[in-house]
Amino acid sequence: MSDEQESMDLFGDMHPYNKLFQVFSKLPEKGLDEAEVLREIAHMSDEENAKWQNGQCSGTMYHGGMEHYDFLNKVFSMYSYVNLLQRDLCPSGTKFEAEVLSMVAKMLHGEEVTKLNARDEVAGAITSGGSESIYNAMYVYREWGREQKGITQAEVIAPSTIHPAHLKAAHYLGMKVIQVPVTADFEADVEAMRAQITPNTVALAGSAGNYPNGVVDPISELSELALEFKIGLHVDGCLGGFILPWIEKLGYDVPVFDFRLPGVTSISCDTHKYGYSLKGTSTVNFRNKDLRRYMYFAQEDWSGGIYASPTIQGSRSAGLSAAMWAAMVSTGEEGYLKAAKAIMDAADKIRAGIANIPELCIMGKTTFLISVTSDMVDPYFVNDYLSMKGWRMNGCQNPPGFHFCITLPQTQPGIAERFVKDLADGVTFAKDPPYEAPKSGFLYGMGASADGREILRQGLKSWVDASYEVE
């Protein structure tokens, strides 16, 4: 077996259906019967839905209700073939997207910006997901820094827990992200970030909440820092932005992270997570229209006519925007509050259960996402046991552990209690494991050395290769 094949085995079987169905490496001479195509797709869908419908999968599926998905798919089907670039043919696209952006801005207290500056007005755009929302924000700060401050080597300062999409955007855009270690509470270290500010700094970034631990960074302090140095502040609310406002309304202690803070200049917020829309939609909102304009591209002298687009995307299906709008207006504030309460009830039960397992501790102040570590047992062995019991956690590192992102499938009766029991049994398993090295920790352990990181990096790229290969 080659090194590449060995690294691929670490990530599991990429082609489980090749033995069940015909593999098409070229177009069939004659098209398949539509009923047969539907049968194959239904088989694969049923196989994969079974992996999360029992509530044992962290994150991934945020709503989980098949009736809800059926409703959104009906809406999508009415616009699936419509291109949002052609707004003259599809003015409904403007209704869907403008209203979604207005509703999200209101949820994030966008009306507060005019109280500080009458000229400000929150303005945003619809994107394909959190990574694109973050990319567009990073691009805006690069362009703003270049035009307003003459910065040609733009830098953004962020805690080490910031989502990799920031580094990915910097990679594409020729920027630099300065990552700063977090505090013992897994929150951004504001003073450490202050120490990294230079004349090349265009913005700070923080999370609400961050992916590894679910904590909300001290955005209020970062806001003051951004104002002091007259730089931008992007809040990555892709994960928590659409649930934290409702958790706050329920009476939980949620740090302020939105446009109520005068230094916050942009927020990314995913509608396809806790907004319960179909996958492939997100929002990015800016404090004013001037900032949003840096994101646009326009060419007025093209031989094909005139061209303008708001984000890096060109053609987009109006079906996703229609379904996003439909998800939000059909759920409403009452529906989002009800969902948030059910999620927090489940999360509170899990937190209470963990408090009775002395070998485990929760990383940081959490709400809907619970990140677990231990200095008494290897948490990766605990995760191994959970995997054997059908649970799918998200592994974390620095420190080693795993997290459980609570979504609506986990609000089913008995799921939280069963998880706590299996977690306790997992600790017992980890005290005397039947094998030497934890399976779920192997990949993370490779990141401890430069050589290991390079091997893992190449393995990850091989995994991406395999995801585009027929066999």
| Residue 455 covered by a domain | no
What pLDDT is recorded for position 368? 98
pLDDT in tens, 383-430: 999 999 999 999 999 899 999 999 999 999 999 999 999 999 999 999
For 168, the enclosing helix (H) or strand (E) is helix 164-173
Check residues 371 and 464 and name the one with the higher pLDDT: 371
Torsion of CA 106, 108, 111, 114, to 10 degrees: -150
| Residue 407 covered by a domain | no
Distance (Å, whole) CA 345 – CA 160 = 30
| Residue 466 covered by a domain | no
Nearest in space to 236 (alpha carbons), one of 209, 265, 212, 255:
209
Q: Sorting pLDDT into bands at 50, 70 and 90, what band is 231?
A: very high
What pLDDT is recorded for position 3? 42
Identity of residue 412: Q
Helix, strand, coil distribution of the chain in percent, nearest 5? 45, 15, 40
- Other C-beta atoms within 10 Å of 300: how many? 8
| Residue 224 covered by a domain | yes
Residue 273: CATH number of its domain: 3.40.640.10
Check residues 437 and 170 and name the one with the higher pLDDT: 170
What b/e string do you get for 265-279 counting C-beta neighbours within 10 Å, with b at 16 or more? bbbbbbbbbbbbbbe
What pLDDT is recorded for position 7? 42
Q: How many domains, in total, are found in the chain?
A: 1
pLDDT in tens, 82-121: 999 888 898 999 999 999 999 999 999 999 999 989 999 9
| Residue 312 covered by a domain | yes
What pLDDT is recorded for position 1? 34
Range with lowest mean pLDDT among 13-17, 46-50, 59-63, 433-437 = 13-17
Which ranges of 269-376 would DSSP assign to H, the alpha helix?
Answer: 289-293, 318-355
What pLDDT is recorded for position 4? 42
Distance (Å, whole) CA 267 – CA 137 = 8
Average pLDDT of every residue of the chain? 94
Distance (Å, whole) CA 133 – CA 101 = 13
Averaged over 345-374, what is the pLDDT?
97
Averaged over 196-222, what is the pLDDT?
97
| Residue 310 covered by a domain | yes
Contact by Cβ (8 Å): 404, 445: no
Q: Which domain holds residue 218?
A: 92-325
Could you give the 3-state DSSP secondary structure of residue 219?
helix
| Residue 249 covered by a domain | yes
| Residue 170 covered by a domain | yes
